[in-house]
Amino acid sequence: MTDLLALLYPWNKAIHIMSVISWMAGLFYLPRLFVYHAEQATAGDSRDAVFQVMEEKLLRVIMTPAMISSWIFGLALVATPGIVDWGSVWPYPKTAGILAMTVFHFWLSGQRKAFASGVQHLSGRGYRMMNEVPTVLMVVIVLSVVVKF
Amino acid identity at 33: L
Instruction: For residue range 11-60, list pLDDT tens digits in order.
Output: 999 999 999 999 999 999 999 999 999 999 888 899 999 999 999 999 99
Residue 69 CA to residue 19 CA, distance in Å, equals 6
pLDDT given at position 67:
98
Residue 62 CA to residue 112 CA, distance in Å, equals 15
Instruction: Identify the band that residue 1 occupies on the pLDDT scale cut at 50, 70 and 90.
Output: confident
Amino acid identity at 130: M
pTM of the model: 0.93
- Domain map (residue ranges) of the chain: 2-147
H or E stretch at 116: helix 91-116
Compute the residue count for the chain.
Answer: 149
Cα–Cα distances in angstroms (integers) from residue 1 to residues 4, 84, 106, 118, 127, in the given order:
5, 17, 32, 50, 44
Residue 120 pLDDT > 90, yes or no? Answer: no
Residue 137 CA to residue 38 CA, distance in Å, equals 24
Residue range 122-134: mean pLDDT, rounded? 94
Angle at 71 between CA 17 and CA 109, to 5 degrees: 105
Instruction: For residue range 77-114, list pLDDT tens digits in order.
Output: 999 999 999 999 999 999 999 999 999 999 999 999 99
